[in-house]
């Protein structure tokens, strides 16, 4: 299991306001936290070497 995989990815009902979210931080295990996840962006460094997409073979 990678550091970003969680045992139960779906925590909330699609018909109610989110009650839980997964907090992900590099180098740490995922943490289940109450409430809605804060909005934000995950940006890749444009100068970083590209990695093949998951499931894609070279």
Q: Does the pLDDT at position 36 exceed 70?
A: yes
User: What are the residue boundaries of the structural domains of the chain, listed by start?
Assistant: 12-37
Question: To 5 degrees, how large is the angle CA 48–CA 7–CA 50?
Answer: 10
Quick check: 19 and 12 in contact, CB under 8 A?
yes
Tokens at 10, concatenated: 């779906």
Position 33 scores a pLDDT of 96
Q: Model confidence at 42, in pLDDT bands (50, 70, 90)?
A: confident
Q: Model confidence at 27, in pLDDT bands (50, 70, 90)?
A: confident
CA-to-CA distance for 53 and 57, rounded, in angstroms?
Answer: 8
CA-to-CA distance for 34 and 44, rounded, in angstroms?
Answer: 27
Position 53 scores a pLDDT of 65
**Helix, strand, or coil here: 31?**
strand
The chain-wide mean pLDDT, for the chain, equals 84
Q: State the residue for tokens 């009650």.
A: 19
């Amino acid at each position: 299991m990678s550091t970003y995989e969680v045992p139960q990815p779906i925590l909330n009902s699609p018909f109610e306001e989110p009650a839980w979210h997964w907090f992900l931080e590099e180098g740490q295990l995922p943490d289940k936290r109450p409430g809605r996840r804060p909005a934000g962006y995950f940006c890749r460094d444009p100068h970083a070497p590209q990695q093949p997409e998951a499931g894609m073979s070279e």
